[in-house]
Amino acid sequence: MSRIIGIDVGGTNTNAAFVQDGNLIAIASCPTNHQDLLSTTTTVLERIASNIPHPEEQSLRLHLSTTLTTNAIMEGRGEPAAVIITHGPGVNPTDLEFPFPSFPVAGAIDHRGRETEPLNAEEVRQTLQRIRRNGIRALAVVGKFSVRNPSHELEIEELVRHEFPEFNAVTLGHRLSGRLNFPRRVVTAFLNASIFRLQAEFASMVKGISGRYGIQDPIFLLKADGGTMYLPESLVRPLETVLSGPAASIMGALALGEYSESHTAITLDIGGTTTEIAVLVKGEPLGERDGAVIANYRTLVPAFFTRSVGLGGDSQIRWSDGSLQIGPEREGPPVALGGPCLTPTDAVIVLEDVPLGDVKKARVELERVGREAGLAAEELARRIIAAFCEKAVREIGLVLKYLNNIPVYTVSEVLAPRELKPEKLIGMGGPAGYFLPKIAAAMGIDYQVLPCAEAANAIGAAVSRPTVAINLRADTALGKLVVPELDLMEDIQRAMLFDVRKARRMALEKAADFAVRTGAYQEAPEIEIGDEEVFNVVRGFYTAGKIFSLKAQVRPGINRVKIPYAWVQYGKKE
């Protein structure tokens, strides 16, 4: 029997959902106290536990999504950290303009992973002394092309371990992502180092929960790619827990939504201030091409593709130069709820006679703005709603245009473009119930407003499964094989016999090793080959070998959730 509590500690509210064997049994919520996430977590746990039948009888699993690392980064509360970089030839490192201390040292690796300049250990020592003198204790080490050959990063780590034990955490760039992009790797490693201690403190607090209410160890944390990871693994790669809230919402939409596997669907999370747009293709959320962007930091953290639009129920409405402006700012709650300016919610309240707040106030404000515009209150309200829908449709169009125009690098992909045409809108959030049908009608497609939308993120957390990915690169011309995530570098024996089948088999094996270590294996053993590239290496008119680049991964998956009809009817309100 599977019994899982999913908790999403969000910006305003914390939600919990209890899912037993694919059935949603209970949801609960409480306000988030950012000063004390642990007490927030235990409060919501207590509330949901009281709704769970026989909580002591069987063990429970906890899936936790928090804003801890996200907020720490957004608010600049990470620990001061420094990055030692071996940049080699290329873009001038001073032009990288990292908003944190970075220290270039000698040492270079080329695009095929060959050392073209050795490290200078003495220079590294002096650099470490400088960093230490500045009182910095969190450290990252990142080399250009370190994913092709991590030896310089590993050498520096070794040196730190022996001679500079006061550095508590050394994050190595190559372990965080097997993808190319040196500046993003530097940023990713820096952020990881800066939240390392915070995550360690949080993890030890959370560990205290296990045992209570029959929650078993290990506890799982949500990641930005909609997967989960063991709590202990989050101590190595805490950065992967950023943006887990939005990812959990999308996973919730997957679990609750009705769509066929062939569908392309758009999910709209319509809130007070913003609308979050994500895209499901064949039942799977699209990911960001390179990685998550958080507080203007471009990272390599795998994350779902989302675009945030300044359009929500509380968006500010202005009449200027003969046209309606909606958003992107929110000045406060709707007028009906004592806010300072007209909002789409006010228009809905007046037009539909919704018993929310002070309808009269909303009407007076509509009439006032209507006089400016030369429109009756009802007509203005209708225009506001139409403008809201138009803006949503336009923004969805821009998202699709962007996705349909991502450059591709082969003739066959250019000729057979994967044109995304959504067939369905899946909506969440308070205003979705009213606006979604109208937006869908404007686009001429089906729609679904999710049940229990306010708890979709907690439900998403509960149904998510572990994800893991490794990148294997085998260069038979050089006789080298690298899996950066595992610190693996080895010589290829009998390179002539190394073919794509062997490469796939090894990638799957190494991903399985990694999955066992990170707790992904028992939960989701379906490891598969993702991206795969094979190139002939020709030198002097003869084939000298091949280069294989493969990604082996466990993709984000979910268990669909059933909601009992009666429960939806009566159990919706906490």
Partner 1 sequence: MKRAGKRLGLVFFPAFDWAISADHPEREERLLYTRDQIVEEGLLDLPGLVEFKPEIANEQDIQRAHICIPDVKSVCTKSHLVAAGGTITAAHKVMNREVDRAFALLRPPGHHAMRLVHGSRGFCTINNEAIIIEHLRHTYGTRMKIAVVDTDAHHADGSQDIYYNDPDVLHICLHQDGRTLYPGTGAVNELGGPGAYALTLNLPLPPQSGDSEMLYGLEQFVLPVLADFKPDIIINAAGQDNHYSDPLTNMNVTARGYARLTELLQPDIVVLEGGYSIEGALPYVNVGIILALAGLDYTTVQEPGPGPAEAPAAVKEAVRRNVGFLQEVWQRRRKIDLDEVFGPGPFYKRQRHIYYDTDEILEKQQEEIRRCEECSGYRVIISAAAKQRRAGKMVAAVIIPWHACKSCRKGAEEAFERLKREGQLELVYLQDVEKDCYNTVPSISV
In terms of CB distance, is 295 or 414 closer to partner 1? 414
Angle at Cα 94 formed by Cα 93 and Cα 99, nearest 5°? 105
How far, in Å, CA of 388 to CA of 347, rounded?
Answer: 11
407 belongs to the binding site for partner 1 (CB under 8 A): yes
In terms of CB distance, is 282 or 418 closer to partner 1? 418
- Closest contact distance (angstroms) between CB of 411 and partner 1 is 5
Segment interacting with partner 1, rule: CB under 8 A, options 47-55, 181-189, 254-262, 451-459: 181-189
Pattern 136-175, partner 1, x by CB under 8 A:
--------xx------------------------------
In the list 295, 376, 398, 408, the residue contacting partner 1 (rule: CB under 8 A) is 408
For 237, the enclosing helix (H) or strand (E) is none
Considering only residues 260-299, where is the footprint of partner 1 by CB under 8 A? 290, 298
Encoded tokens for 154? 């590993």
User: What distances in angstroms separate CA 467 from CA 349, 361, 449, 509, one per listed residue?
Assistant: 43, 50, 28, 15
538 belongs to the binding site for partner 1 (CB under 8 A): yes
491 belongs to the binding site for partner 1 (CB under 8 A): no
50 belongs to the binding site for partner 1 (CB under 8 A): no
In the list 38, 205, 500, 547, the residue contacting partner 1 (rule: CB under 8 A) is 547
How far, in Å, CA of 97 to CA of 247, rounded?
Answer: 30
In the list 10, 55, 93, 466, the residue contacting partner 1 (rule: CB under 8 A) is 93
φ, ψ of residue 212 to 5 degrees: the values are -65, 145
203 belongs to the binding site for partner 1 (CB under 8 A): no
Encoded tokens for 268? 């709209």
**Residues binding partner 1: what is the number (CB under 8 A)?**
43
The helices-and-strands tally (H runs, E runs) of the chain is 15, 27
Do the beta carbons of residue 162 and residue 276 sit within 8 Å? Answer: no
In the list 174, 175, 184, 391, the residue contacting partner 1 (rule: CB under 8 A) is 184
In terms of CB distance, is 98 or 164 closer to partner 1? 98
- Closest contact distance (angstroms) between CB of 488 and partner 1 is 20
In terms of CB distance, is 351 or 472 closer to partner 1? 472
According to DSSP H, which parts of 341-430 are helical?
Answer: 344-352, 359-373, 377-404, 411-415
Neighbours of 331 (CB within 10 A): 13
Do the beta carbons of residue 47 and residue 30 sit within 8 Å? Answer: yes
For 273, the enclosing helix (H) or strand (E) is none
Cis peptide before 328 (omega within 30 of 0): yes
Report the candidate in 303, 327, 305 with the shortest Cα–Cα distance to residue 317.
Answer: 327
533 belongs to the binding site for partner 1 (CB under 8 A): yes
Segment interacting with partner 1, rule: CB under 8 A, options 15-23, 251-259, 524-532, 541-549: 541-549
Interacting residue ranges for partner 1, rule: CB under 8 A: 89-93, 95-97, 108, 110-112, 116-117, 144-145, 180-184, 290, 298, 405-412, 414-415, 533, 535-538, 540-543, 547
